[in-house]
Amino acid sequence: MLELWVRYRKYSRLLLVLLASFSLLTLQQARPEGQWLTEAVAAVTAPVQAGFARIHRRALGLWTTYLEWKALRADAERLRAEVTALRFRQLRQDELDAENERLRALLALRERLAVRTIGAEVVAREWNGFTRGLTINRGRTDGLERLAPVIVTRGVVGRVMELRRESAVIQLVTDPASSIGGVVNRTRAQGLVEGVAGGRLRLKVAAREEGVTVGDLVFTSGIGGLFPKGLPLGRIVRVHPPTNLFRIADLEPAVDLATVEEVLILPRGGAGDLGDAFSGA
């Protein structure tokens, strides 16, 4: 018998396993309440299972936290990119709105002026201390004339000083070489508005003109024939004591020349009084 057992060892083990299994199944059927083996195994495995479950829960918690953190980080990066894009778009929109507003105002001025004007865009600036000029994208081929007045909605910018085929250089009113005939709106005192090194303007009137005070508006006088009458030049911010012949007043330019981007070029001379077009300035 033992010899047989050894000879067919593997089959005998299978037989044993089958017998044990069927016995368990059978016994279980006969006495379902006597689950002593289940109880015994469970007593050993339950604490280990509980430990594993705790570890698993913690690991799962960590993993979930990591996933949430990762998702939050991805969200934050996405939102940051969105904010940047929106800010950029907003800036662009603001820029377009400002440009639109400027062009509308310029167009309205052009219609009010009732003279033939040429619109131009500023393409370059010359801001050194000695000269102050702008380069525009209109030139001889567009019908521009040398010394033609250049304006924007708020007043005088300067005059066309150098004419090229498809561009022109404008001498700004604040250029030290610029000199334009001006008139104090309230007192009608005539004088010269000159550019000052440093980007300011000054009004030179006769010493006898005592009524000139801070806050007075100065317009072009039309004298000299280059600039039409009635274009805003600036506002008096300071009046100096008179010297022998002249009374000097510092002016704040009517136009913020640093921000000019589009201009209108008027015909040289003969445009009459354009003061009505700037009555709101």
Binding other proteins (rule: CB under 8 A), the pick from 10, 33, 130, 245 is 10
Binding other proteins (rule: CB under 8 A), the pick from 31, 56, 70, 92 is 56
Binding other proteins (rule: CB under 8 A), the pick from 4, 5, 8, 14 is 14
The site for other proteins, by CB under 8 A, has a size of 27
Q: Identify which of residues 20 and 76 has a Cβ nearer to other proteins in the complex.
A: 20
Q: Are 241 and 192 in contact (CB under 8 A)?
A: no
Q: Which residues pair with 211 in a beta bridge?
A: none
23 binds other proteins (CB under 8 A): yes
User: What is the C-alpha separation between 209 and 190, in angstroms, rounded?
Assistant: 9
93 binds other proteins (CB under 8 A): no
64 binds other proteins (CB under 8 A): no
146 binds other proteins (CB under 8 A): no
Q: Are 256 and 200 in contact (CB under 8 A)?
A: no
Closest contact distance (angstroms) between CB of 22 and other proteins is 7
Q: 94: alpha, beta or left, given left = phi > 0 and alpha = psi -120 to 50?
A: alpha
Q: Are 273 and 222 in contact (CB under 8 A)?
A: yes
User: What is the C-alpha separation between 174 and 260, in angstroms, rounded?
Assistant: 13
Q: Are 123 and 139 in contact (CB under 8 A)?
A: no
Pull the structure tokens for residue 266.
């008027």
Binding other proteins (rule: CB under 8 A), the pick from 4, 5, 20, 76 is 20
Binding other proteins (rule: CB under 8 A), the pick from 4, 5, 8, 42 is 42
Q: Identify which of residues 45 and 213 has a Cβ nearer to other proteins in the complex.
A: 45
User: What is the C-alpha separation between 69 and 63, in angstroms, rounded?
Assistant: 10
Residue 215: C-alpha distances to residues 80, 167, 235, 248 (Å): 48, 37, 6, 14
Binding other proteins (rule: CB under 8 A), the pick from 5, 8, 52, 127 is 52
Closest contact distance (angstroms) between CB of 96 and other proteins is 52
13 binds other proteins (CB under 8 A): yes
60 binds other proteins (CB under 8 A): yes
| Nearest of 139, 126, 221, 138 to residue 177 by alpha carbon | 126
Closest contact distance (angstroms) between CB of 50 and other proteins is 10
Alpha helix segments (H runs only) across the chain: 2-7, 9-30, 36-113
Binding other proteins (rule: CB under 8 A), the pick from 5, 8, 17, 99 is 17
Binding other proteins (rule: CB under 8 A), the pick from 4, 5, 8, 22 is 22
41 binds other proteins (CB under 8 A): yes
| Nearest of 144, 158, 142, 224 to residue 191 by alpha carbon | 224
User: Which DSSP letter does residue 236 get?
Assistant: E
Binding other proteins (rule: CB under 8 A), the pick from 5, 8, 21, 82 is 21
Helix, strand, coil proportions of the chain in percent (round to 5)?
40, 25, 30
Binding other proteins (rule: CB under 8 A), the pick from 4, 8, 31, 35 is 35
Q: Which residues are at the interface with other proteins (CB under 8 A)?
A: 9-10, 13-14, 17-18, 20-25, 28-29, 35, 37-38, 41-42, 45, 48-49, 52-53, 55-56, 60
